[in-house]
A and B are shown apart, each in its own frame.
Chain A
């Protein structure tokens, strides 16, 4: 059993509870024990870095200090925005203390974007070894969004213009990853709330492209992307007269499906665009779990 520090972030306690549940379940079966940072706080998100730069560094730094007390070498962060803000806080420290190595025992853990963590060769093998039902015949696009990749001097992502972590996982599960051009295009994030005209247009563009490339579903690792593409899809359909019906599925849910976990049905039932009809049609689900 490997122990890893875990920073869920605020949305995984609420709106993205489906993501949170699937992560916990899949990690346990991957022999990864998640140790949540005690008393963690919000990373400040876009709001902090937009109008309060100091807070945008100080808020994640408190989490980093708390994370250190757990003493694990690795820290898993499912939300790409939290991941990005935590990495930025580390980067900020390094900028200001370029030479000083942290004293022994006081190093920060290695911060992982959850999808990248699952896409290492070792983890992919483990994922493959548990597959009960390969997701043959399911064609999906992987949608990474912005914050796990960009900017590379913060994220450390080697393949920031063409990330492959989700595609590798999809392939391991037996589904078909479609190569498409909008892997890392922005979903508009909170613009959907503050500037819905612009935000909805950005989501529409993504859905259009996914459909054009023949995707039957979109696989994501970001709960913000998931929310924007899933919760607002019917509204965009109503506004534009287009039809998408594209389920937006977390990669951890997809793993659960290929592993035939009974819990997977419960996670999927919390989506707005119901993935179950598609999965039943493809013979990839036994029925509602």
Chain B
């Protein structure tokens, strides 16, 4: 926290007075230019009002609050941003982007940063979330639609949670839930297939995931 405050020149808390006297980093705006060129995200319009953070329903589980993520991005602190838990735990609820007085697309930036992190080969701070998203998209490649009965088991295996879930009793709860869904005819044992699934596969195979679509 103290380290972060030193970097961003934060005005929160008691560390402030000390911070003012510190030589603040020289910002590297190249990252901001890159971000803005991939937008429109309007990151540079941020004036640090914290409205985004104040309305964020997941701030309790974040390591760096959304307003600080934006500030760090502006200052070119890519490592802090791309290694944060925040970009992965963001629930994409769009409250921040909706309320920002300056039209900063915070939620969209969170997505963009996730893609950059993946592209840069950075180990996600919350691997489970990344594995879930990847499993979901791989699941789509099968048939072009979500095959629900296959999604969670594949995710548990890939995120290496099976053993710990058995130990903690989580697996029993999940299996019970699945059985209930099945009994209530809410879980199909077979996926429904889309005829154009070749097309879906080629969309998902795109080599440049965050390239702007044509």
- A181 CB-CB contact with B under 8 Å: no
Q: Is the CB of A194 within 8 A of B137?
A: no
Q: Is the CB of B92 within 8 A of A13?
A: no
Select the residue from B60, B149, B192, B213 with max chain A CB neighbours within 10 A: B213
Q: Is the CB of A270 within 8 A of B185?
A: yes
Q: Is the CB of A41 within 8 A of B144?
A: yes
B: which residues have CB within 8 A of A?
A: 40, 57-58, 60-61, 89, 91-95, 97-98, 107, 111-112, 114-115, 118, 126, 128-134, 136-137, 140, 144-146, 148-149, 152, 155, 159, 173, 177, 180-181, 184-188, 192, 194-197, 199-200, 203-204, 206, 208-213
Q: Is the CB of B137 within 8 A of A270?
A: no
Give the dominant DSSP class at B's interface. helix
- A217 CB-CB contact with B under 8 Å: no
Q: Is the CB of B203 within 8 A of A59?
A: yes
Q: Is the CB of B148 within 8 A of A10?
A: yes
Convert A1-21 into 0s and 1s, putting 1 for each residue whose CB lies closer than 8 angstroms to a CB of B.
000000000110111111000
Complex Cα distance A160/B94, Å?
11
Q: Please list 15 pairs of residues, one from A and one from B, whose beta carbons are closer than 8 Å in the complex, sorted by A's number.
A: A14-B148, A14-B187, A39-B194, A41-B194, A41-B197, A42-B144, A50-B133, A51-B111, A53-B112, A53-B209, A54-B213, A58-B206, A58-B213, A146-B95, A150-B93
Contact of A151 among B97, B126, B144, B180 (CB under 8 A): B97
Q: Is the CB of A54 within 8 A of B97?
A: no
Tell me which residues across on chain B come within 8 A of A270, comparing CB atoms. 184-186
Tell me which residues across on chain B come within 8 A of A42, comparing CB atoms. 140, 144-146, 200
Q: Is the CB of A52 within 8 A of B199?
A: no
Kindly count the residue-residue contacts between A and B in the assembled complex, taking CB atoms under 8 Å apart: 177
Tell me which residues across on chain B come within 8 A of A269, comparing CB atoms. 184
Complex Cα distance A205/B111, Å?
25
Q: Is the CB of A160 within 8 A of B98?
A: yes
A interface residues, how many (CB within 8 angstroms): 58
Q: In chain A between 14 and 56, which residues have their CB closer than 8 angstroms to a CB of chain B?
A: 14-18, 39-42, 44-55
Select the residue from B58, B126, B188 with max chain A CB neighbours within 10 A: B58
- A123 CB-CB contact with B under 8 Å: no
Q: Is the CB of B115 within 8 A of A51?
A: yes
Contact of A51 among B97, B134, B146, B148 (CB under 8 A): B134
Contact of A11 among B89, B111, B146 (CB under 8 A): B146
**Nearest 6 pairs of A and B residues by beta carbon:** A186-B93, A47-B136, A150-B94, A10-B146, A47-B133, A194-B132
Given contacts A14-B146, A15-B148, A189-B92, 11 further A-B contacts (CB under 8 A): A42-B200, A47-B136, A51-B209, A53-B212, A54-B203, A58-B206, A58-B213, A62-B200, A146-B93, A189-B91, A194-B155
Tell me which residues across on chain A come within 8 A of B173, comparing CB atoms. 235
